[in-house]
Structure 1
Amino acid sequence: MASARNKKMINAHRAGKNLIDELESPRLHESGVEKLGDGYERLEERLSETNARLQVLQQVTASVHSTLDLDEGFKQITDGAVHSLGYTTAFVMMIDNEKKCFQVRALSTQKHLLHQIGKVLGFSLKNLSVSVGYDSNANIQSVLEGRTAVTKSLAEIAYPLISKKACSALGKLGETKNCILVPLTVGEEIVGAVFITSPREEVSQGELITLQNFAGAASQAIGNANLHTQVKLGEETLRQSEENLKTYLESTPDGVYLNDLKGTLLYGNKKAEELTGYKREELIGNSFLKLNLLLAKDLAKAGKLLALNAMRRTTGPDEFELIRKDGSHIWVEINTTPIKQGKKVMLWRRIPRISSSNRKLRTSLNLSTPNF
């Protein structure tokens, strides 16, 4: 029994020695170092590719934010995908207004391929459109539901719009190994897609994230353009409103002035010029309380009315005897309406003239009591 135990111990010792010898073998050591070195090289390659994608993404994003031209922003995205990231072709496609198809808004491809692709298709790539109806294929439907689609065959995206034979020819022409379709969203609405063809055998998760960020940049370009359009429309509407108001004020039969709470005149229409005899440029920027427009006895009355207006109270009609530029006097009614412009209160004053006959009639009937 002891002999058997000793034999097992001897065999175990030999096995251990053989294992140590094998581990210390130069051949095994060299193999391990080679594997470790290969691992580091692959890791460095991946890090380098990731950094390159990040740099391109930063450049494209900066370019998109620097322009309000939607097509220019889209072109920056497709150029970045092809010329910096090594894809064969890149499209930005938008859903048309009738929600029937994707239409090409920007495209980039290797220069030597553009003419050959056109020959295979029989039409320009710029005229390419893909149906988004219920009869569209599963990958298009996937994108319309907000999911990224990756396929090995162009036909899985473009058929039946493009025949399978033409899809195969295009795939060989561009050495396409993968087709990627990433949805474009504005808010929660799918408005288009970024379409990429890749010559690489595999599509890494890092690539998909980069392309989704490219799609995000395209969505931002759409948002910027929409905001710019809304601002322009708002500015045009405001300009038109201002022109309409100016036309109305210049054609009204009554004198109209705008002044602030200090009495400083800011605007006067043509009829106001006729009433006072002054050009508006002579009065604007000055307080009517300090100008020779009112009789001394009426200044206190005007000041009290201005105080009421400062409390956002409408006043009038209030009769005043105005002194015209030529020294003559006329009677007018002043109706004042406070309005708010931003944080400031302004006063619109409508000033119809009182005819001599009406003035005499009011005096005789004692109807000229000031309203304040």
Structure 2
Amino acid sequence: MTWLDLPDDTLFGLENLPYGVFSVGGAPERRAGVRVGDLVLDLTAAAAETAAAFAPLLTAGVLNPLLAAGPGVWREVRDSVREWLTEPRYADRLRPHLVPVAEVTTHLAFDVADYVDFYSSEHHALNAGRIFRPDAAELPPNWKHLPIAYHGRAGTVVVSGTPVVRPHGQRKPRNADAPAFGPSRRLDIEAEVGFVVGVPSTAGTRVSTADFAGHVFGVCLVNDWSARDIQAWESQPLGPFLGKSFGTSVSPWIVPLDALEHARVDGPPQDPEPFEYLRTSEKWGLDLALEIRLNGHVVSRPPFATQYWTAPQQLAHLTVNGASLRTGDLFASGTVTGPERDQRGSLLELSWGGREPLELPGGEKRTFLDDGDEVVITATAPGPAGRRIGFGEVRGTVVPG
């Protein structure tokens, strides 16, 4: 029980307690915070008030010092916050450090070191193959042997609510004789789940699937904005570059791995059996229910549990060549898509490459995004005693380039 007055159905109860960074009233100072109900606990102030040993880790205006401290400290902070919010003796001391979430401005919670985006939904890969290469094999020959990924641009990862400027670049429709330059005409979304690295690794060493929870701090939501026309022309023969690097949005709240124990499930069967370094003995599929809204209307509900490659496998593959992890690394799942039409995680799939426009309430139609369109991605997961926990949202509005 908590001395806070929390609704029974809150997605941000004591079983969740996600971390973020916030400011209040236009003040420049950024503080670490924990979301609880419709409030934010000023974690920087609360740790100082209680003389917590970990207080110095929370004064940087980003979570990176806490991320680097490792699982022992992560558990200590989480246990302390739960104690503070349940023991009545802390109530009078901590109430001044609780701020309504409606009054805070959230910021990017951590300095992003590197950003890698995977391609791990079999349903998305199949759909993309059928849209772009109807006469080709359904999956690339390497797809079920390794988690495919591209290395993105860390400097353009932005927090939810940041406007997305329509990118310019070269594009060449299939029926055109030559490329043209201009704003993207096929601007898309990708609903994804991101994993935030805390503890770094040494260059030249591998991180095993068993060591996943020793390095990864928590989970957020990601929208990997994609200019499909720019991407299609530049990806011959290499992978995504300018079609992706203009912006990636992330949710402001990082849900710790410890909050997801009740969401852990087996991943889908893998055939052929992966190489030994990709094998796992623990359940690290996650039963997350995503929801995509376009201009306020639900257009898809992708299920994350259908992802073929799990996060520990992605991390193991990311480091198998000796590439090191750094505190603040972000790696994302790739588009989350389920087997049903209303579970597709991108407009590319929902409009089937633009050939089947998506109809919105009121008669509007979309193949790809118009200027002024707003996309909001949310997610929930099972918690203890039948409750659900939330991830907040990742929101972005398209503005002209």
TM-score by shorter chain over 0.5: no
Higher strand share: 2
Higher helix share: 1
- TM-score range for the pair, normalised by the shorter chain length: under 0.3
Greater RCO, 1 or 2 (C-alpha within 8 Å, sep 6+)? 2
